[in-house]
């Protein structure tokens, strides 16, 4: 009789002990998982912050590179006017001051993006107008003949994110700056092409493309981009790759240089997955 009573008690005590042990192990496992999640979140936040810093650095590089390139030309023109046409010197200095103010405002806008909520995409017509205006303004300030053309129509079922649009604008600025600084071009042709699955922006010039690069190999690879000396092109390539696109650049057989940026519309899902839209 005593054994019959003690056996259920022993089983009960063992069950409670085993249950508590399992509960203890589960709680420890849960705590370990929570710590791992916290660590992963911290790493993700650090990576996101690094990506944002890289993006801001690229944007500021684009703004400063573009501005300093044009200012260099205008300073030379101002020096020439100081001795030959003092009356026009004041106009040229006003233009330079306006350019500096625009650069400061653009730099502030770039830094301000860190605190802005995502903006709604603008329409393609407005984007085309902005690109055309940027090319026209660049031509007026540098004296380079800039010709802007647009081919095709935007697909009705596709759209461009704000990141894609800003990438196109910065890419054009970098392309124009390089054509002037490295190619010493007299004429630049800018072509925006709308296709069913992608948008391409091509900039060709009549500068010293052949002389600027000893090899005829297109500089679409990272090492070739650096070899050509266009550090801004490397940043452009990184932007394009982040959007699922690509950049191809190289000297033309007939002379001059060509840079083409391609951004596919179908990259939207990839952008969302990477958290950059």
* Percent of the chain whose pLDDT exceeds 70: 52
> Averaging pLDDT over each range in 60-69, 86-95, 166-175, which range is the top one?
166-175
What tokens appear for 182 in the block? 């490295």
Separation CA 268–CA 277 (nearest Å): 8
| Average pLDDT value over all residues in the chain | 72
Query: Is the CB of residue 259 less than 8 Å from the CB of residue 203?
Result: yes
Domains of the chain: 124-277 (3.30.565.10)
pLDDT for the residue 193: 94
**228 pLDDT band (50/70/90 cuts)?**
very low
Query: Is the CB of residue 144 less than 8 Å from the CB of residue 138?
Result: yes
Element holding 246 (H helix, E strand):
strand 246-251
Our separate counts of H helices and E strands in the chain read: 8, 5
Query: Each residue of 159-190: b (16+ CB within 10 Å) or e?
Result: ebbebbbbbbbbbbbbbbbbbbbbbebeebbb
More confident residue, 31 or 261: 261
Angle between helices 124-142 and 162-181 (to 10 degrees): 20
């Amino acid at each position: 009789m005593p054994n019959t009573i003690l056996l259920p008690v022993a089983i009960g005590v063992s069950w409670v002990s085993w249950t508590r042990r399992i509960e203890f192990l589960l709680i420890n496992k849960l705590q370990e998982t929570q710590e791992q999640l916290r660590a992963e979140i911290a790493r993700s936040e650090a990576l996101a912050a690094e990506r944002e810093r890289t993006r801001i650095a690229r944007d500021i590089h684009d703004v400063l590179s573009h501005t300093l390139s044009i200012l260099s030309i205008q300073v030379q023109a101002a020096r020439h006017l100081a001795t030959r046409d003092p009356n026009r010197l004041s106009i040229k200095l006003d233009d330079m001051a306006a350019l500096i103010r625009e650069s400061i405002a653009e730099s502030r806008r770039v830094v301000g993006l860190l605190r802005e909520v995502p903006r709604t995409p603008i329409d393609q017509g407005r984007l085309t107008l902005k690109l055309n205006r940027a090319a026209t303004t660049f031509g007026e300030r540098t004296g380079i003949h800039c010709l802007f053309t647009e081919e095709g129509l935007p697909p009705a079922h596709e759209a461009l994110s704000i990141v894609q649009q800003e990438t196109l604008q910065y890419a054009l600025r970098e392309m124009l700056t390089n054509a002037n600084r490295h190619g010493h071009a007299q004429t630049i042709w800018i072509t925006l092409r709308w296709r069913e699955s992608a948008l391409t922006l091509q900039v060709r010039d009549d500068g010293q493309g052949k002389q600027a690069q000893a090899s005829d190999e297109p500089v679409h690879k990272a090492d070739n981009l650096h070899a050509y000396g266009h550090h801004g092109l490397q940043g452009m390539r990184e932007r394009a790759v982040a959007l699922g696109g690509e950049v191809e650049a190289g000297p033309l057989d007939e002379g001059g240089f060509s840079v083409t940026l391609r951004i596919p519309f179908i990259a939207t899902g990839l952008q969302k997955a990477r958290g950059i839209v």
